Amino acid sequence: MANETLRAGTAPRQLATPPVTGPPRARSRWRSPVLRRLLRHKLFVSGSLLFLVVALAALLADVITVVDPLKLSIRDRFEPPGAAWPFGTDNFGRSQWSRVIYGARLSLLIGLGVVSLNAVFGTLLGALAGYFRRLDNPLMRIADAFMAFPVILLAIGITAALGPGSVNAVIALAAVYTPRTARIVRASVLVVREMEYVEAARAMGAGHFRILRYHILPNCMAPLIVQLTFIFAYAVLSEAVLSFLGLGAQPPTPTWGNIIAEGRQYIREAPWITVIPGLALAITVLGLNLLGDGLRDVLDPRLKVQQ
Amino acid sequence: MGPYILRRLVSSIPVLFLVTLISFSLMQLVPGDPAILVAGLNATPEEVERVREQLGLNQPFHVQLLSWYANLLRGDLGTSFLLGRDVLEVTIERLPVSISIALYALVLTLLVGILSGVLAALRQNSWVDQAVMTFALIGVSVPNFWLGLMLIVLFAVHLGWLPSGGYVDFRDDLFGWLQATTLPAISLAMLQMGLLARITRSTMLEVLRQDYIRTARAKGLPEHRVVGLHALKNAMIPVVTVIGIIFSLLLSGSVVIETIFSIPGLGSLLGSAILRRDYPVIQGGLLLVATTLLLLNLLVDVLYAYFDPRVRYRDGQ
């Protein structure tokens, strides 16, 4: 759930991701070999496939489900998985297949929301802290304070205060993960800032914005992309925890977390209600973790232990 | 050593200040009128007014902030809406339960994580390595609250080996405590085991390639001494740095896990406070956990500097 602190936290300094450096122009020539190496990376490919299955299910939710996920059918309560009900039914006779698929849609949407907010604010704050020495200390102390709270506890605190709901869950998770992303961006900016081509740009009279936008940030992308992939995984997991605790989207809207919470009381008689959404969650997170590992191995080769 | 500790202490003061500020601000995030939320929807206007006065919500922001700090310095975190008791008292009384489970999970994490990581590194690319890495990957992907439920179904419902919930104090009955906390500890530890196994494996592989390992082998030391004495000791450095973080993750995971296993710890207190909107408890609980973890990280850093003098000099610049 909250394992990103191990990657982006304060203590394990040797895990900080060094940026891929090199001349900024080389990007277009690099692109295709990177793709080829990614496609040769078995774990990356299997992660992509797992994630693709979930993403497709979420996208095509209207097409691949027949029964409305909210439709109650009292006569069909607690039907085990079978031909009529692929994933069985719950205590209200609702189709678990429909609910799990629509849950995927919400989970991925929330993950995407958190990742987008993270990308914007993490990059902005990280770039400011890394580039302007004056801002570094205050911004990083604030980040430290946020990171002093365990991820899930702070997210719980924020959603509990703002009130339950998926939008608030996105806000809370973005607030919790942004300092961590900012730290990673800052670490890259600190290194790239000292490169000769940055000095050259400065000597030619480029302004701060131009230097950051065109010379520094493009060369800090690799660790950021890797980080965001993992953030996606953690956001999906944490959202499930929040909605399990009743802080995410409210029933009857199905989320994997609240399906598991509702199914909990029937776990003896109807275990499928809890087992299936949990498996869906695990598959999604596993896929994203594999994707992240693959991206890290290929984009950020210095982190890889030589095989 | 003295100056280093002092420096670390001083530098954690602003962070501690910000942590308290964040905890305070949480209450300000509550939309609408918290007094109505607390008093209940069918409370009379007089009751709402009384609650507002009681909570100091009728005061301007800066007065609220100042009185929050004044109370904090006196160790007063407010009164639980629900229990009508002092928040600090309620949280501190439940802290040992959560810490004992987190420690149990930490021991499991360290044992399994380090052992399997070392094994995987020593037998790189063998089936052992692959099995450990697959297990680690599954460990970091399975949500802990779901794992807890599955363990209950398997070990409590079907096999009947362990209780499905409840708690026995370790001071009363150590065996009962072990029985009650084994499933929660495993659910908490799974993710961290996976992470630790991966970290241990990769640092171990790196260490095994170092010159001093070659030297140790070349001078004819038996392999178990090379691994146990030279390699393991050096591979443990990054592991020591993450112990603080692992512990904090284990402690924070307790909110869900304690709720599932109905364990009367800080986690389940927070869990029920969330459901009933008992803001002082949420606020106080968060603050207590964050402060505990800050102190713990301080301790880890100091220990780390003690074992690795390079840290002391580097941070001193």
Sort out which chain A residues have CB atoms less than 8 A from B31's CB and list them. Answer: 162-163
Residue B124 reports pLDDT greater than 50: yes
Distance CA(B23)–CA(B19), nearest Å, equals: 6
The token pair at B289 is: 């956990």
| DSSP state letter for A305 | P
Contact (CB<8Å) A11/B301: yes
Q: What does the pLDDT profile of chain A (307 residues) look like in tens digits?
A: 344 344 433 344 444 444 555 555 545 555 567 788 888 888 888 889 999 998 988 888 777 777 777 777 777 777 778 777 777 777 777 878 888 888 889 989 999 999 999 999 999 999 999 899 888 888 988 888 888 888 888 898 898 888 888 999 999 999 999 999 999 999 889 888 888 888 888 889 888 888 888 888 888 888 899 899 999 999 999 999 999 988 888 888 889 988 898 888 888 888 888 888 999 999 999 999 999 888 888 887 665 443 3
pTM for this predicted structure? 0.83
CB A258 within 8 A of CB A243: yes
Tell me if the bond preceding A252 is cis, omega within 30° of 0: yes
Write out chain B residues lying below 8 Å of A162, CB-based. Answer: 29-31
**Cβ A65 vs Cβ A29: under 8 Å:** no
- DSSP state string for B8-72: HHHHHHHHHHHHHHHHHHHHHH--S-HHHHHH-TT--HHHHHHHHHHHTTTS-HHHHHHHHHHHH
Scanning every residue of chain A, which has its alpha carbon at the shortest distance from the alpha carbon of B238? A12
Residue bearing the bigger pLDDT, B289 or B310: B289
pLDDT of residue A303: 53
Residue in chain B lying closest to A283 (CA): B141
Q: For residue B218, what are its two tokens?
A: 């070349």
Give chain A's radius of gyration (CA, Å): 22
Task: Choose from A44, A139, A156, A159 for mutation: most chain B CBs within 10 A.
Answer: A156
pLDDT digits (tens, 9 = 90+) for B134-171: 889 888 889 888 999 999 888 887 887 887 777 878 77
Higher pLDDT among residues B26 and A185, named by residue: A185
Smallest CA–CA distance, residue A93 to chain B, in Å, is 22
Predicted confidence at residue A108, as pLDDT, reads 92
DSSP B136-200: HHHHHHS-HHHHHHHHIIIIIIIS--S-SS----TTT-HHHHHHHHHHHHHHHHHHHHHHHHHHH
**Per-residue confidence (pLDDT) for residue A83, from 0 to 100:** 72
pLDDT at position B116 over 70: yes
Q: What's the mean per-residue pLDDT of chain B?
A: 83
B14/A275 touch (CB, cutoff 8 Å), yes or no: no
Q: Is the dihedral of CA B270, B106, A187, A238 positive or negative?
A: negative
C-alpha to C-alpha distance for B71 and B24, rounded to whole angstroms: 12
Which chain B residues are within 8 Å of A247, Cβ to Cβ? 274
* Listed residue (A253, A239, A229, A211) closest to A69, CA to CA: A253
Let me know: does A280 contact A103? Beta carbons within 8 Å: yes
DSSP for A192-253, written as a single string: HTTSHHHHHHHHTT--HHHIIIIIIGGGGHHHHHHHHHHHHHHHHHHHHHHHHTT-SSPTTS
Distance CA A40, CA A43 (A): 9
Alpha helical stretches, state H, chain A: 4-8, 27-40, 42-59, 61-64, 96-131, 133-148, 151-162, 166-192, 196-203, 208-210, 221-244, 256-263, 272-299
Report CB contact under 8 Å: B143, A285. Answer: yes
B143 contacts in A (CB within 8 Å)?
1, 237, 240-241, 278, 281-282, 285
When scoring A13, A46, A153, A297 by the number of chain B Cβ atoms within 10 A, the one with the most, hence best to mutate, is A153
Q: Distance (Å, rounded) from C-alpha A206 to C-alpha A198?
A: 9
Among the listed residues A301, A237, A289, A296, the one whose alpha carbon sits nearest the alpha carbon of residue A46: A289
CA–CA separation, B130 vs B114, rounded Å?
Answer: 16
Tell me the ipTM for this assembly.
Answer: 0.81
Other Cβ atoms within 10 Å of A239 Cβ, number = 31
A293 vs chain B: nearest CA distance in angstroms?
10
Does the pLDDT of residue B316 top 50, yes or no? no
Residue A126 identity (one-letter amino acid): G
When pLDDT is averaged across residues B108-112 and rounded to a whole number, the result is: 93
Closest CA of chain B from A195, distance in Å:
23
- Per-residue model confidence (pLDDT) at position B315: 52
d(CA A249, CA A259): 11
What DSSP element (H or E) covers B101? helix B87-122
**Residue of B135, B202, B254, B274 best to disrupt the A interface, most CBs of A under 10 A:** B274
Q: Pick the more confident residue, B158 or B312.
A: B158
In angstroms, the separation between the Cα of residue A27 and the nearest Cα of chain B is: 29
User: In 3-state terms, what secondary structure has residue B99?
Assistant: helix
Nearest to A264 among B149, B202, B252 (CB): B149
Residue with tokens 């959202």: A239
Q: What was the pLDDT predicted at A7? A: 42
Single-letter code of the amino acid located at B106: L
- Are the Cβ atoms of B191 and A3 closer than 8 angstroms? yes
> In angstroms, how far is CA A62 from the centroid of its own chain?
24
Q: Is B78 helix (H, G, I), strand (E, B) or coil?
A: coil
Q: What is the pLDDT of residue A30?
A: 52
Would you call A2 and B286 a contact, using CB atoms and an 8 Å cutoff?
no
- Residue matched to tokens 């701060």: A208
Measured between beta carbons, which residues in chain B are less than 8 angstroms from residue A148?
15, 19, 290, 293-294
What residues of B are in contact with residue A2 (Cβ under 8 Å)? 249, 252-253
Report how far apart, in Å, the C-alpha atoms of B42 and of each of A165, A279, B38, B102 are: 23, 42, 11, 41
Strand partners, B79: B86
